[in-house]
A and B are shown apart, each in its own frame.
Chain A
Amino acid sequence: MSDNQLNVLVVCGSLRQNSYNAALARTLPSLAPPGLALKAGPPWHTMPIYNHDIPDVPAEAVAWADAIRGADGVIIVSPEYNWSIPGGLKNAIDWVSRMKDVPFKEKPVAIQSCATGVLGGARMQYHLRQSLTSIDAFLFGKPEVLVTFAAKKFDEKTLALTDQPTIDDVKQQLAAFEKFVRRLNGRK
């Protein structure tokens, strides 16, 4: 049974310690169906600012790309910054997009976001879809996970996800994402 598990990488778009998105990312393994083995992706915060003149792709970007290539799917959990993708996360995507064997190509990707505001990061999600289209990822559709008013959905002290409707949404997405990945990989 466990050799039939899918390996899914979880990438978080926020670097701050008490991040709601990081808290959600940490919660995912406990909400995933048995067929998904979730693992946190390698760090991207040590990648230099992208400059085309840097001759070699930095080691951190190589490691990140390898982890994505090696995974059956990727879940990106990210805040929205200024109505779009956080610059740091976009920087990581820009780096690996220049590699020969682009790691996101035909990779199943699901997106989740937490925001303190009313839209829950929707504008970031739609922009991320646009960017991932440029590197030919296979984007999961519904159900979407948009955690609005994040401060009310996580425990103030422990940052545990306490909001039951959100927990249900996440469980549904993870179950549907497993089906999506198996379908794309031709594994029933």
Chain B
Amino acid sequence: MADRTVNVITICGSLRKGSYNRIVMNALPGLAPEGMQIKEAPPFSEFPLYNADIQNATGFPAPVQTLANAIRAADGVIFVTPEYNFGIPGPLKNAIDWVSRVPNQPFAGKPIALQSASPGPLGGGRVQYDLRRSMVFLDAFTLNKPEIFIGNCAQRLDDKTGKITDEQTIGFIRQQLAAFANFIAAHGPKG
């Protein structure tokens, strides 16, 4: 018997409508183990570029606070993101930079899982290691394995139907979500 529902939010690192990473993100609720609820986090697309002077003059922009609150309230966060120039997409990094300055920094102690899709062969290997590093600084707990790198994603995801077509990929994602549920349970309730 599941003692309670685990609430996980997802953050997509790509803003484009036909995003492969968004296809993956949208599939997650249907692949989650029993007892895990997954929904999309509030958007970061309206965040200004980080400037400490804005923060000091007018406080944190409202969408920054909204995202920070959602992260704080969630039991876990899954990033589903492309790799841009061997690293974190600037817009996503900007969002993390803003959120990282909010008092009672919301990533602290938070279980995190990472997924990435790319038309290239590595499937975003480098962005995940960049994200892991930022998450260490923010004192989050990032799930180790299984890792989800969806390489050559145009062959595994159908951008017309918005569905994952590759059974193996679906299987890996199910495994990761199940592992993430255990990982969240192992880290106990948020402090």
Q: Which residues of A contact B (CB under 8 A)?
A: 14-17, 45, 47, 49-53, 81-95, 97, 123, 127, 130-135
Contacts and interface: CB of A to CB of B under 8 A. Distances in A.
B85 A83 contact: no
Interface of B: 14-17, 19, 44-45, 47, 49-53, 84-98, 100, 126, 130, 133-134, 136-138
Contacts of B44: 49
24 contacts: A49-B90, A50-B84, A51-B15, A51-B45, A52-B15, A84-B130, A85-B87, A86-B94, A87-B49, A87-B50, A87-B88, A87-B91, A87-B97, A90-B84, A90-B85, A90-B94, A91-B94, A94-B84, A94-B91, A95-B90, A97-B84, A127-B87, A131-B86, A134-B85
B97 A81 contact: yes
Contact of B90 (A53, A92, A133, A134): A92
A78 B36 CA distance: 41
A47 to B, nearest CB: 8
Contacts of A47: 49
B53 A84 contact: no
Contacts of A86: 50, 93-94, 97
Nearest to B47: A49
Contact of B50 (A15, A52, A92): A15
A96 B143 CA distance: 33
Contacts of B96: 82, 87
